[in-house]
Amino acid sequence: MRSAMTTATKLSFIHRFEPATDKDRPPLLLLHGTGGDENDLIDLGRIVAPGAALLSPRGKVLEGGMPRFFKRLAEGVFDEADVKRRANELADFVSEAREEYGLPAPIALGFSNGANIAAATLLLRPEALAGAALLRAMVPLSQPPATDLSGKPVLILSGAMDPIVPTANAAHLARQLQHAGANVDHRTLPASHGLSQADVTLTRDFLARLAA
């Protein structure tokens, strides 16, 4: 049995933390979509990375009462100044949590808005993350700074019928990350914006390879 923690408030983000039962697995940083919270991706994390430590913060931005990780100006139009501020804030939280809980750099597992802040964090603060699984991500920064993601594994899973993320936008994000040196595996699934069983299976396989 895990000794699961309840929601914690002592660090800079409200969050949940579950300690590892399998020390060979890298920890996961779980980043929810709009309207989610620190509980949303816990079950997914347990499924795709059994035994891994789980660190799941709640986004600090509210949009119509719904938590997000950064502001947007309209659907698919991001406040890039806020993206940069919030990505740095998240990276600082990861550093705090690593010290508090004795963790190595985590792999981000983000969905939608959470995937976008994970991508921005990779581009702005690459030292914060060991890699990422980005589910339904789009370009968070139109002109990202030069950065070195050499060797960092990144999985991007897009939906061919996603009404929110254009396929060309997701492909552009993959190119941005590849240009920075990341090892990117980008797949477009026969899915919409919601997650499918294929997302679960591919993410689980990706994370299993990192633990091997």
- Of the listed ranges 39-48, 69-78, 91-100, the one predicted with least confidence: 69-78
**199 classed as catalytic:** no
Q: Is the pTM of the predicted complex or chain greater than 0.75?
A: yes
Average pLDDT on 10-25 reads 94
Is residue 3 predicted with pLDDT exceeding 50? no
Mean pLDDT score of the chain: 95
Q: What are phi and psi of 204, to 5 degrees?
A: -60, -45
pLDDT band at 1 (very low <50, low <70, confident <90, very high): very low
- Active-site hit among 15, 56, 158, 162: 162
**112 classed as catalytic:** yes
Cα of 57 vs its chain's centroid, Å: 11
**162 classed as catalytic:** yes
Q: Which domains can be identified in the chain, with CATH numbers? A: 15-211 (3.40.50.1820)
Distance CA(172)–CA(6), nearest Å, equals 38
Distance CA(49)–CA(44), nearest Å, equals 8
Question: Which two three-digit tokens encode residue 150?
Answer: 């050499």
Neighbouring CB atoms inside 10 A of 201's CB total: 12
Distance CA(82)–CA(99), nearest Å, equals 26
- Active-site hit among 32, 40, 56, 112: 112
DSSP 29-58: EEE--TT--TTTTHHHHHHHSTT--EEEEP
Q: At what angle do helices 113-124 and 167-179 cross, to 10 degrees?
A: 20
75 burial via Cβ count (<10 Å: 0-12, 13-18, 19+) = exposed
DSSP 142-199: SSPPP---TT-EEEEEEETT-SSS-HHHHHHHHHHHHHTT-EEEEEEES--SS--HHH
Residue 126's pLDDT is 98
* Cβ-contact 26, 107 below 8 angstroms: yes
Strand 54-57 with 131-135, pairing: unpaired
Of 147, 150, 119, nearest in space to 133 by CA = 119
Average pLDDT on 12-34 reads 96
Average pLDDT on 124-143 reads 97
- pLDDT tens across 158-201, in order? 999 999 999 999 999 999 999 999 999 999 999 999 999 999 99
